[in-house]
């Protein structure tokens, strides 16, 4: 009826309360308009109904819920005051509706819904099931939720809920998440709501809430908090009923006219303030006292003076209190007890606490409108103000004993409800066993809150658990006491109270006498600063813990060096002759001290980059040896990864690769492990993965970023994002794609808030891109003071490994742009920061650009400086040769190019030219356009210096093409000017000679293949490389005229529209997905949105031989008219090669099927060639690769044949 919760109940006197809204039509229309805007594809919206208690907020939401049309879905729940310390209570209750929702929807709509949901949520399913057990049937069995630091846990929870909500919203279109009484919401829930409506937007989502403004003078305003949650908040204030609405309500209720009820309406308005809840209970009180009487006609009568004498109080709670006082004593007693249990309660629990029968009194309470059925044998209070009025019936002295009885009566698995009651009454708990039980329950509740990412709630439970411990916990329950002190210390540290945290840890350290417990305390002591990113914190607590575990660690610097050498020697010896299967086949580690030591070292090692190298070597080698002695555990992945790094530095490539494979094996076998991101990142920075392939190494960094993000470790995810982005740049990824990553980082920071370290790193990358492309991302915000401070520290080398990584990228850009004085300064700074590490990619990259810097500056320095630089170049060349020997694909062209430069300095012209050519070929073969461009540019500048302009122009045009393919517009313009000066012509507007040379090389390559199984993959690879495409496919026509994919070996998704258009019309299509989509629409184009696309026929003598499809999803205008003109020669010769291969196959098949042997004779009757049948007669073996259908037979013995002239 619009008076609080809708109801159609009747009073004993038969007063029926209408089940409809009055005076809320405008507000309801506003809500419908917001809903329709979201349903039409608008951004997510948070809409909040606000107003005083009892004004009808919940009734308005309920009426809106009834009107939501299919297929829209409403998930609804209410925050209640007794669960304010329970994280996400209402959100979890609302999401629980998804457990039963599919049963109400036609099966055809949700055929694969569970599978889609599982795929969308990913590894977050475990934490969702932990929060919302009703989702277990949807997700099935999942691994237990792993413990994480609370900030990471919060990010993990946010990500899981966000993915779930986004997937459901995309299916039901739209999803309404209705959360009532937000003024009772916990902090974690408000943070989560803000996450749901933040960027990137979740389409088809409406979050609908209601809250009561705080009392005047409150310290905080919930309205301000909610306005700060997101960009799109709509507030709809509700006021008391208008006079007209109140008159209409009374007329309908009392079955009379508005005119007839007008005097009563004025009196009711004066007594209730036209507050709907007060009106509701005032009318009930009038009916209960028979001030309202029903006539035989069905109409109601009243005496205005009698109405005037009935008290209504100053607010709804007081009025409800009057009504409660008029109820029978047993009803009052049960309502008071029920109110202490909570807003919703089970009748069985109430009976257990109150004793005696409860059914009849509860039925009276329901009929009086105080309670309503809630399903599953439970009841709920009809309004929060009714519950508060019932709580007022409990005397202060009776409240704690009542809570104690309730806490003891509640089921054990209702952890939060039990601790809520018992914590309030813990001063009454004196028996040690019960105090220990309460402490255990608080530890369980705190751990759950921490696992869900609710630090404030966790902190409260841990503090309550400490208060509940008996007087002598170190004797009665030492393990529990240690656990509570540790968890409370972590919570205090997160809350910004490090001194309290250390006091708690010191107390636990002093009081416990169990070595393993002391180890755990020390390990947490060592790890607490790192939870906030302080990797340079004192490691002494961790070292003390390792010594307690029997790990012998030295006390002096010289001792560390000797111990590190010895430990590495032991590990090297133990790994000799060992295969990966030998390591993976061993039983897992179970020894408790070994496990504790391994876990602790895995925590300490990530800080190794700010420690001396001996520190890293000793800890990694000791922990890896522990795994060899006792079997490995998942945390062993970290020491194995670091051991691989150290062994790679020692040029022990096979042992380093074994350690890499073991680290990846360990994290690959445990889903969503906390060690995966760190292990993959460390492995990616070392040499072994680059030996496998560039894509594998860079892919590990991408996986490390994704793993960290999946687990909620946003700080580590951002660090890996930056490493991934910079390695994309280092490996020649198109600069537009690198810019997209850089742009995404700026957008992420705009959404998530400032992070000066990430901003500083991203700005450096943005500046590099601006220098090479001629433009940055355009999204960089003004530099903050803290970021500027970090940038100065980075340039000075004060940020350790971070300085090395960032400055190496800046060094590369300086070399590419010819700023060699700046490059020399950067190279010297980086070497001072990180002088060791020959087994790491960053060191290899730095050495390459350092060497090129020295060769370019060599002739401009005095002789004594040249002698020093020559020695340095010897050192750098040796390192580059070592890397090239271990991983030729990644580093081969680098070693060749530096060697070419040194040969140039030595004056060996022919040898230098050959090495430039080999460097160009090596870079091209392995897909490094920037490397090919550098080699061609340096070769061209050398030719120009020697006075050979034609050769110089040829080299430089090749360099120009490579830089253009890379996206380096600044370099293209620079070379255009240089080429124009050398050739006195306009910059290349026609096919470039060196491009034609490259094309001729490709033609020569494909012409060497006559067998289709060899030709097709070679041809596709060359087409993709020559065009600068990301991916492609070759399709051959079959006998039926239909096209089939012939390369790559495994068919890839293709847009059928453009391919069919080319097949049917014989015309070429090129452009971006929008251009091509107009001509030949296809869902593939909408889904993947390639920036450049080329689909063209390959013909021979007018016959369709094949259709080639090429695309690039990042780079625009890649297949313009000039590019297609340059590719045409390759397409022409591809058609010839395909025709020849087909002819060859036909001829070979014909020869194989000849019924008689065939000989080819010279004029002198000597055998020149023989068919396979003839060779079979000769008794010779058929060669594996004949090269031609007829085999050379000049060496055969003529005596075995009868030759017919």
**Cα 745 to Cα 780: distance, rounded to the nearest angstrom:** 10
Question: What is the DSSP secondary structure assignment for residue 536, as one 8-state letter?
Answer: T
One-character DSSP codes across 624-657: HHHHHHH---GGGHHHHHHHHHHHHHTT-HHHHH
Q: For a pLDDT cut of 70, what percent of the chain falls above it? A: 87
pLDDT tens-digit series, residues 899-912: 999 999 999 888 88
pLDDT at 1163 over 70: no
Share of the chain above pLDDT 90, in %: 50
Average pLDDT over every residue of 294-303: 86
Q: Is 37 exposed, middle or buried (0-12, 13-18, 19+ CB in 10 A)?
A: middle
Q: 1071 by DSSP, 3-state: which? A: strand
- The mean pLDDT value of the chain amounts to 85
Categorize the per-residue pLDDT at 982 as very low, low, confident or very high, splitting at 50, 70 and 90: confident
- The per-residue pLDDT for 687 is 84
Which residues of the chain form CATH 1.25.40.10?
A: 866-988
- Encode pLDDT of 331-373 as tens digits: 999 999 999 999 999 999 999 999 999 999 999 999 999 999 9
Q: Alpha carbon of 197 to those of 68, 161, 675, 701, 743: distances in Å?
A: 20, 12, 31, 29, 21
CA–CA–CA angle 116, 121, 122 (5° rounding): 100
Contacts of 981 (CB under 8 A, 6+ apart): none
Helix axes 25-39, 57-67, angle to 10 degrees: 50
Residues of the chain with CATH 1.10.10: 314-394
Q: What's the DSSP call for residue 230?
A: -
pLDDT at 173: 86
- pTM value surpassing 0.85: no
Does the structure show a pLDDT above 90 at 59?
yes
Please say if the pLDDT value at position 1077 is more than 90. no
Cα 746 to Cα 143, 722, 742, 751: the distances in Å are 35, 12, 7, 9
Q: Checking phi first, is residue 1047 left (phi over 0); if not, alpha (psi -120 to 50) or beta?
A: beta
Q: Is the pLDDT of residue 419 over 90?
A: yes
**Domain 997-1147 = CATH 3.30.450.40:** yes
Identify whether the C-beta of residue 47 lies closer than 8 Å to the C-beta of residue 232.
Answer: no
Peptide bond before residue 28 is cis, with ω within 30 degrees of 0: no
User: What is the CATH topology of the domain spanning 25-237?
Assistant: Rossmann fold (3.40.50)
Q: What angle do CA 857, 861, 865 make, to 5 degrees?
A: 110
pLDDT of residue 1134: 87
CA distances to 731, 756, 794, 829, 854 from 826, in Å: 20, 22, 11, 5, 12
Per-residue model confidence (pLDDT) at position 530: 60
Asked if residue 1081 has pLDDT above 90, the reply is no
pLDDT at 700 over 80: yes
Weakest-pLDDT range from 78-87, 100-109, 727-736: 100-109
162 vs 358: CA distance, rounded Å: 43
Confidence at 150, pLDDT banded by 50, 70, 90: confident
Span 866-988 CATH architecture: Alpha Horseshoe (1.25)
At residue 771 the predicted structure's pLDDT band, cuts being 50, 70 and 90, is: very high
Residue 17 banded pLDDT, cuts 50, 70, 90? confident
What does the pLDDT average to over 547-552? 84
725-729, 824-828, 854-858: which has the minimum mean pLDDT? 725-729
Find out whether 284 and 11 touch, Cβ atoms under 8 Å: yes
Position 340 scores a pLDDT of: 97
| pLDDT (tens digit per residue) in 1113-1159 | 766 677 877 778 778 878 888 888 898 888 888 877 776 666 666 66
Instruction: Output the six-digit token pair for 878.
Output: 């040796």
Single out the residue of 965, 948, 1007, 947 nearest to residue 1134, CA to CA.
1007
Confidence grade of residue 831 (pLDDT, cut at 50, 70, 90): confident
Mean pLDDT of 579-600: 91
Cis peptide before 504 (omega within 30 of 0): no
Q: How confident is the model at residue 604 (pLDDT cuts 50, 70, 90)?
A: confident
Confidence of residue 714 (pLDDT cuts 50, 70, 90): confident
Q: Would you list the DSSP string of 1000-1040?
A: HHHHHHHHT--SHHHHHHHHHHHHHHHHT-SEEEEEEE-TT
Query: Given a cut of 80, is residue 571 above it in pLDDT?
Result: yes
Contact status, residue 1092 vs residue 1022, Cβ threshold 8 Å: no
**Would you say how long the chain is, in residues?**
1205
Q: Does 314-394 carry CATH code 1.10.10?
A: yes
Q: Give the whole-angstrom CA distance, residue 330 versus residue 351.
A: 12
Structure confidence at residue 1005 (pLDDT): 66
pLDDT for res 531: 61
Q: What is the pLDDT of residues 625-639, one digit of tens each?
A: 999 999 999 999 999
Residue 1031 has pLDDT above 90, yes or no: no
Strand 378-381 and strand 371-375: pairing?
A: antiparallel
Among 214, 105, 196, smallest CA distance to 159 is for: 196
CA dihedral 1083, 1084, 1086, 1092 (to 10 degrees): -140
Residue 12: is its pLDDT beyond 50? no
Q: What is the rounded average pLDDT of the residues 754-763? A: 87
Q: How far apart are CA 850 and CA 820, in angstroms?
A: 10
Q: With bands split at pLDDT 50, 70 and 90, how would you rate the model's confidence at 126? A: confident
Residue ranges, comma separated, of all CATH 3.40.50 domains in the chain are 25-237
- Residue-wise pLDDT for 451-460, tens only, equals 999 999 999 9
Q: 921 or 107: which carries more pLDDT confidence?
A: 921
Q: Tens digit of pLDDT for each residue in 1032-1055?
A: 999 999 888 889 998 787 888 899
């Amino acid at each position: 009826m619009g008076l609080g919760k809708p109801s159609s109940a009747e009073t004993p006197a038969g007063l029926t309360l209408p089940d409809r809204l009055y005076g809320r039509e405008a507000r309801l229309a506003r809500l419908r308009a917001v809903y329709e805007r979201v349903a039409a594809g608008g951004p997510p919206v948070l809409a909040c109904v606000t107003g005083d208690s009892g004004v009808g907020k919940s009734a308005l939401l309920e009426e809106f819920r009834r009107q939501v049309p299919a297929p829209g879905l409403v998930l609804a729940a209410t925050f209640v005051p007794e669960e304010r310390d329970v994280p996400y209570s209402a959100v979890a209750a609302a999401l629980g509706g998804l457990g039963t929702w599919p049963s109400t929807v036609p099966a055809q709509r949700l055929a694969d819904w569970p599978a889609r949901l599982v795929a969308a949520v990913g590894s977050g399913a475990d934490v969702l099931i932990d929060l919302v057990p009703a989702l277990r049937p949807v997700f099935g069995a999942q691994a237990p939720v792993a413990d994480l630091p609370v900030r990471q846990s919060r990010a993990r929870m946010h990500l899981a809920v966000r993915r779930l909500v986004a997937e459901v919203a995309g299916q039901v279109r739209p999803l309404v998440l209705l959360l009532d009484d937000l003024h009772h919401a916990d902090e974690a829930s408000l943070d989560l709501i803000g996450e749901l409506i933040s960027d990137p937007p979740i389409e088809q989502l409406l979050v609908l809430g209601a809250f009561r403004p705080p009392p005047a003078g409150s310290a905080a305003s919930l309205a301000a908090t909610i306005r700060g949650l997101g960009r799109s908040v709509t507030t709809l204030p509700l006021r008391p009923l208008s006079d007209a609405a109140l008159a209409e309500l009374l007329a309908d209720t009392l079955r009379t006219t508005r005119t007839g009820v007008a005097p009563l309406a004025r009196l009711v308005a004066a007594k209730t303030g036209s507050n709907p809840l007060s009106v509701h209970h005032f009318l009930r009180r009038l009916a209960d006292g028979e001030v309202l009487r029903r006539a035989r006609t069905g109409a109601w009568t009243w005496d205005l003076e009698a109405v005037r004498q009935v008290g209504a109080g100053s607010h709804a709670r007081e009025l409800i209190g009057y009504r409660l006082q008029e109820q029978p004593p047993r009803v009052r007693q049960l309502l008071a007890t029920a109110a202490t249990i909570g807003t919703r309660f089970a009748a069985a629990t109430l009976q257990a606490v109150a004793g005696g029968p409860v059914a009849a009194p509860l039925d009276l309470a329901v009929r009086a409108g105080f309670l309503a059925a809630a399903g599953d044998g439970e009841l709920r209070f009809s309004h929060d103000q009714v519950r508060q009025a019932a709580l007022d019936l409990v005397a202060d002295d009776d409240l704690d004993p009542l809570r104690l009885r309730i806490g003891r009566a509640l089921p054990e698995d209702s952890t939060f409800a039990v601790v809520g009651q018992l914590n309030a009454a813990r001063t009454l708990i004196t028996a040690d066993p019960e105090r220990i039980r309460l402490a255990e329950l608080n530890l369980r509740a705190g751990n759950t809150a921490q696992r869900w990412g609710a630090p404030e709630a966790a902190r409260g439970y841990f503090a309550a658990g400490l208060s509940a411990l008996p007087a002598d916990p170190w004797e009665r329950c030492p393990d529990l006491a240690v656990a509570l002190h540790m968890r409370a210390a972590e919570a205090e540290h997160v809350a910004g109270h490090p001194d309290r945290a250390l006091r708690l840890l010191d107390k636990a350290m002093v009081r416990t006498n169990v070595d393993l417990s002391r180890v755990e305390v020390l390990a947490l002591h060592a790890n607490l600063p790192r939870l906030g990113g302080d990797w340079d914190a004192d490691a002494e607590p961790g070292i003390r813990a390792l010594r307690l575990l029997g790990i012998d660690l030295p006390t002096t610097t010289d001792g560390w060096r000797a111990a590190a050498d010895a430990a590495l020697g032991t590990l090297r010896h133990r790994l000799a002759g060992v295969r990966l299967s030998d390591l993976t086949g061993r039983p897992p580690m179970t020894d408790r001290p070994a496990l504790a030591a391994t876990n602790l070292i895995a925590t300490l090692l990530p800080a190794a980059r700010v420690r001396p190298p001996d520190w890293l070597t000793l800890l990694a080698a000791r922990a890896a040896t522990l795994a060899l002695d006792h079997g490995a555990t998942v945390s062993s992945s970290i020491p194995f990864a670091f051991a691989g790094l150290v062994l790679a530095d020692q040029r022990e490539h096979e042992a380093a690769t074994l350690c890499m494979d073991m680290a990846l094996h360990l994290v690959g076998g445990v889903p969503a492990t906390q060690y995966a991101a760190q292990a993959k990142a460390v492995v990616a920075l070392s040499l072994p993965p680059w030996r496998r392939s560039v894509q594998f190494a860079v892919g590990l960094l991408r996986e490390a970023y994704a793993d960290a993000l999946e687990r909620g470790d946003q700080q580590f995810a951002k660090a890996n994002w930056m490493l991934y982005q910079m390695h994309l740049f280092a490996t020649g990824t198109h600069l537009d794609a690198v810019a997209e990553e850089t742009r995404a980082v700026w957008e992420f920071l705009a959404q998530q808030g400032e992070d000066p370290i990430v901003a500083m790193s991203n700005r450096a990358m943005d500046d590099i891109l601006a220098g090479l492309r001629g433009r940055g991302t355009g999204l960089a915000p003004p530099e903050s003071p803290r970021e500027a401070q970090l940038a100065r520290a980075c340039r000075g080398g004060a940020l350790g490994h971070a300085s090395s990584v960032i400055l190496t990228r800046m060094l590369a850009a300086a070399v590419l742009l010819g700023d060699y004085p700046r490059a020399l300064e950067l190279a010297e700074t980086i070497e001072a920061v990180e002088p060791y590490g020959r087994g790491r990619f960053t060191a290899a990259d730095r050495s390459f650009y350092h060497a090129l810097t020295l060769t370019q500056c060599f002739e401009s320095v005095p002789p004594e400086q040249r002698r020093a630089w020559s020695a340095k170049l010897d050192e750098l060349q040796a390192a580059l040769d070592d890397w090239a020997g271990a991983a030729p694909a990644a580093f081969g062209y680098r070693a060749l190019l530096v060697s070419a430069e040194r040969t140039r300095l030595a004056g060996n012209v022919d040898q230098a030219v050959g090495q430039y050519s080999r460097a160009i070929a090596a870079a091209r073969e392995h897909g490094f356009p920037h490397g090919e461009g550098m080699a061609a540019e340096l070769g061209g500048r050398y030719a120009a210096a020697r006075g050979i302009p034609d050769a110089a122009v040829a080299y430089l045009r090749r360099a120009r093409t490579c830089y253009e393919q890379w996206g380096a517009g600044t370099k293209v313009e620079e070379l255009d000017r240089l080429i124009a000066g050398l050739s006195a012509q306009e910059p290349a507007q026609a096919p470039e000679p060196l491009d034609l040379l490259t094309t001729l090389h490709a033609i020569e390559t494909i012409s060497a293949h006559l067998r289709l199984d060899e030709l097709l993959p070679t041809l596709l690879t060359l087409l993709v490389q020559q065009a600068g495409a990301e991916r492609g496919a070759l399709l051959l026509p079959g006998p039926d005229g239909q096209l089939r994919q012939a390369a790559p070996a495994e068919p890839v998704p293709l847009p059928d529209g453009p391919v069919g258009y080319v097949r049917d019309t014989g015309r070429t299509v090129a452009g971006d997905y929008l251009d091509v989509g107009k001509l030949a629409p296809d869902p593939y184009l909408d889904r993947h949105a390639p920036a450049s696309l080329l689909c063209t026929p390959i013909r021979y003598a007018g016959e369709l031989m094949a259709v080639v499809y090429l695309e690039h999803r990042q780079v625009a205008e890649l297949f313009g008219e000039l590019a297609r003109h340059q590719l045409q020669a390759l397409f022409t010769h591809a058609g010839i090669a395909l025709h020849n291969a087909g002819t060859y196959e036909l001829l070979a098949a014909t020869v194989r099927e000849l019924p008689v042997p065939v000989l080819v004779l010279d004029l002198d009757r000597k055998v020149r060639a023989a068919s396979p049948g003839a060779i079979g007669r000769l008794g010779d073996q058929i060669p594996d690769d004949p090269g031609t259908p007829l085999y050379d037979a000049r060496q055969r013995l003529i005596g075995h044949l009868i030759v017919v002239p």
